[in-house]
Amino acid sequence: MSDNKPAAEQVDPAQTAKSAATSPAPATESQTVIQPKPSTFARIAGGNIGLSIGAALAAFIVGGLLIAATDPATQAASKYFFARPIDTLSAGWSAAYDAYMALLQGAIFNPNGRTFNQQLRPITETLTVATPLIFAGLAVALSFRAGLFNIGAQGQLILGALVSGWVALNAGLPLVAMVPLIIVGGIVGGALWGGIIGVLKAKTGAHEVILSIMMNYIAANLLVYLLKTPLLQRAGSSNPISEKLPDTAVFPQLLGPAFRLHLGFIVAILAVAFVWWLLNRSTVGFRLRAVGANPHAARTAGIKVASGYIIVMALSGALAGLAGAAQVAGSEKVLTTGIAGSLGFDAITVALLGRSKPVGTFFAALLFGAFRAGGVSMQVSTGTSIDIVLVLQALIVLFIAAPPLVRSIFHLPDPTGKTTKKKSAQKKAVEA
């Protein structure tokens, strides 16, 4: 059949292909421009490490401003700020600098110490205070990775301390056998308390936040009750306090009797390695992370979500129980109603700062240990209230919760290397 179309209407295939190749792409409402693969520095600076460091730095900056604003010398100089502004700025800088230097010397190294032990004691105190925070932070971080908000580390820590303390006071074994038994007691007590939450979550669907809050209250009041009974109360005392632990039931000091740093710190490092292996190298860890990422998809893939809840809460409780054992047999050497302090709640902040990663949680716990160890020195040396430490911790959480704000303050790069540009179809057509 012949083609009867006029010459003007006939289409040259070669010309059509050339026009298609050179013509602009159809206009769309949004366009994603893929940038070259970011450098290693960009991925580190813009990733979790960079955000955590940026959040800490931002908290220190705001804390320094608060220290300067409440300093009497700065307030006095501010009265003639417009006449001599340098005086106000200098006084404020000196107040913040002196406070942070005192905090640093009280937490890391004291060059003014008369002996080498006095100079070295600050860093050992930081590590000692950080030890239970490492355990408790790992407990919260592990549950976070499984999609559970475990705020029951306080109660799990108390139960671990309770069981460990009872074992230490009643077992009567040599040191070689007593230390492992105390550690096992902390694991069992915390795992039991956390496992109850996991079972209730899995079987009834109750929310873990409500469960853990209630279990915290039960654990705290159970400890008070038992410390007022002959089971644990010190003979001849009306106060809720146990007998002092025998020497065979105390964790050995790593650097001798001049320092408080004890064996619990080594166990904490091993716990970090275990949690890292569990999450990144084990089948159980993969299933727990799958449950945390999307429980519905995990259930569809054949993963038992309910069992995952029980396992992760028992493991979290075991880690928090180790914190209790470290407190009783390592730092305090006696069981009291304040054995847990606020460690269980501080662990939430530690896990957040560590981005729920084992290594990140370890360094976050060291930072918070430095806050606690150096806060007293800061208050004694400069008169700055130790409460500024709590303010710094709260500010860190605030900045951790706002990654875009931290990136904008420090101009951190986007680790994904992607930028999205929205243009209207009409504007793109005009540009074409």
CB 128 within 8 A of CB 323: no
Q: What's the pLDDT at 297?
A: 92
Rounded distance between C-alpha atoms, residue 135 and residue 320, angstroms: 6
Tell whether the model's pLDDT for residue 425 goes beyond 70. no
pLDDT tens figures, 253-269: 999 888 999 999 999 99
pLDDT tens figures, 218-232: 999 999 999 999 999
3-state secondary structure of 49: helix
pLDDT tens figures, 165-201: 999 999 889 999 999 999 999 999 999 999 999 999 9
pLDDT-wise least confident of 126-130, 198-202, 270-274, 374-378: 374-378
Rounded distance between C-alpha atoms, residue 344 and residue 189, angstroms: 15
Tell whether the model's pLDDT for residue 321 goes beyond 80. yes
Rounded distance between C-alpha atoms, residue 302 and residue 304, angstroms: 6
Q: What is the DSSP string of 282-347?
A: -HHHHHHHHHHH-HHHHHHTT--HHHHHHHHHHHHHHHHHHHHHHIIIIIISS-BTTSSTTHHHHH
Residue 374's Cβ-count burial label (10 Å; 0-12, 13-18, 19+) is buried
Answer left, alpha or beta for residue 28, where phi above 0 means left and psi between -120 and 50 means alpha. Answer: beta
* Mean pLDDT across 287-311: 92
Task: Provide the 8-state DSSP code for 240.
Answer: S
Task: Give 12's pLDDT tier (boundaries 50, 70, 90).
Answer: low
Residue 16's Cβ-count burial label (10 Å; 0-12, 13-18, 19+) is exposed
What does pLDDT average to over the chain? 86
Alpha-carbon Rg for the chain in angstroms: 29
pLDDT tens figures, 152-168: 999 999 999 999 999 99
Rounded distance between C-alpha atoms, residue 129 and residue 368, angstroms: 8
pLDDT tens figures, 371-391: 999 998 899 888 888 899 889
Task: Give 431's pLDDT tier (boundaries 50, 70, 90).
Answer: low
Q: Tell me the CA distances in angstroms from 406 to 96, 360, 392, one per residue in order.
A: 22, 18, 15
Rounded distance between C-alpha atoms, residue 118 and residue 134, angstroms: 25
For residue 375, the one-letter residue type is G
CB 337 within 8 A of CB 227: yes
Q: What's the pLDDT at 259?
A: 93
Rounded distance between C-alpha atoms, residue 201 and residue 306, angstroms: 8
Q: What is the DSSP string of 73-91?
A: HHHHHHTTTTT-HHHHHHH
Task: Give 53's pLDDT tier (boundaries 50, 70, 90).
Answer: confident
